[in-house]
Amino acid sequence: MTTGHHHIFIDFEFTMPDHKTSPKGFFPEIIEAGIVIVHQDAIVQTYSTYVKPTFFPLLTERCKKFLRISQEQVDKGLLFPDFIRKLREIVHKDEYTIVTWGNMDMKVLRQNCQMHRIPFPLKSKELDLSMEYKKFFGDRNQIGLWKAVEEYGKEGTGSHHRALDDALTTYKIFQLVEKDKQYLAKPKPTTIGERIDLTKMLGKLAT
């Protein structure tokens, strides 16, 4: 196992109520997870799985259409407690930072753990990359993951609202932002021509 600090990029897709009606007590349940583990700027592991919802097991038509996930796919997924065991296994690193786009992924994970009476499995720093992106580019509205990568003139990885693809796209934006931060922290040295006004120097030599 690689040692040292890891960045773990996580994306979840969760259940959605229908537009007009919502069952009593409804809350979003994780139904797909995508995880990308990065060490020293290299992907060392990826993981994806469907998760079977427990409290509201039938997906709404809106959810299936929006996420392009079928009932059969989630029915064959891991039960939530089994997914948490797998998550603990995956993130068992000496040092790591959890990176997500927005704060909903961790909020839903915490709520799901609470409803299942399972301890929250992650004990690490959490980084909301969407807020980092917002702060880095100045005071602007918070934007979506794929809109952000498009603003960089790049393309997302795979398909939007596929958990692993979104986690990989989050890593891509992370790389771009970190590269820009490094550039601003260590700007390219100016050339001698930029430091000296050559026209003035030539004028003095001519007199």
| Tokens 């993951």 -> residue | 145
Average pLDDT over residues 45-62: 97
The class that CATH gives domain 5-206 is: alpha beta
Q: What distance in Å separates the CA atoms of residue 106 and residue 100, rounded to the nearest whole number?
A: 8
Query: Is the model's pLDDT at 1 over the cut of 50?
Result: no
Task: Enter the pTM of the model.
Answer: 0.84
- Is 112 within 8 Å of 56 (Cβ atoms)? no
Average pLDDT, the chain: 87
Per residue in 91-103, pLDDT (tens digit) is 876 689 999 999 9
Percent of the chain with pLDDT strictly greater than 70: 85
Query: Is the model's pLDDT at 191 over the cut of 70?
Result: no
- Is 15 within 8 Å of 52 (Cβ atoms)? no
pLDDT at 205: 52
More confident residue, 129 or 156: 129
Q: What distance in Å separates the CA atoms of residue 69 and residue 14, rounded to the nearest whole number?
A: 10
Residues marked active site are found at 13, 161
